[in-house]
Structure 1
């Protein structure tokens, strides 16, 4: 898949998908969030081919989501740490997990979450940054932003956001 073509689409979802929308990439991120940082541990946990893992780690490094750190010189070994931009994807990964728990986990969720601040079990929700209320597609209005434009990948959306043409 040519991921670079998504970088030019005037849509933050398309641009983000070009970086992280791949099952192996999301699983690498999951493992990093869970504290698996060393290459060999990632390979062993995921059961992924070394060339695939190396490619995903390179992509995440190039995108600025992780950084590579040498922890051994002979032979050279690396571990991978999330950058601030990588940490910012935590909510995205949790949202995907919550959807999978609701719709694709007939035996129940594979992992349970406890919010350390309050000590209660929790499930992630997307919430308003102002009032804290849950955001759903039924109660959010979308308006054109300064970076939006009529272009490939956003043609119909740009037209709908702009409203009917003025006569």
Structure 2
């Protein structure tokens, strides 16, 4: 995988992996392209049609996602003379983010969801489980711990050498 372009310590404001991730996939077309590739649409034309993205913007975005190691280009299985877009391990790791955006959109933005995720013969309902101890996790049980030097949860620490 290529070296990522976004460093959590090289973003404006608080050093943050969320800000770094948004520099890579934080525009509309990036995550919609990942969605389409997840659905098995590997051709540029399919991705453009199904996202509604302007082709020049989509082309630039796909190129950037390849450079950032989210996607890779390789020959299409049914047409080896042409390349398609495929998810890398980093791209596949975005699927949880996409599922959560789908869940949030279904809950807050629509009365009739246009798509469902299914698991065997029932609707899929994700559940957070701690990978370390195996226990189910609720939002109330989690807390943020700042590890960036010179920062607290409320912001920069004024007398820190990193803030001078």
Question: 2: distance between equivalents of 1:5 and 1:88?
Answer: 18
Aligned to 2:115: 111
The structural deviation recorded for 1:47 is 2.3
Q: 2:75 aligns with which of 49, 63, 70?
A: 70
CA contact (8 A) 1:68 1:79 kept: yes
Structure 2 unmatched runs, 5+: 158-164
Task: Count how many residue pairs are aligned between Structure 1 and Structure 2.
Answer: 147
CA contact (8 A) 1:7 1:14 kept: no
Question: 1: distance between equivalents of 2:9 and 2:74?
Answer: 27
The structural deviation recorded for 1:93 is 0.7
The structural deviation recorded for 1:158 is 5.6
Deviations 1:67-92 (A, max 9, x none): 0113458xx63210000111011101
Change (3 A) 1:125 1:109: farther
Structure with greater contact order relative to length (CA < 8 Å, sep ≥ 6): 1
Question: 2: distance between equivalents of 1:5 and 1:132?
Answer: 31
Change (3 A) 1:126 1:77: same
Change (3 A) 1:123 1:155: closer
TM-score scaled by structure 2? 0.76
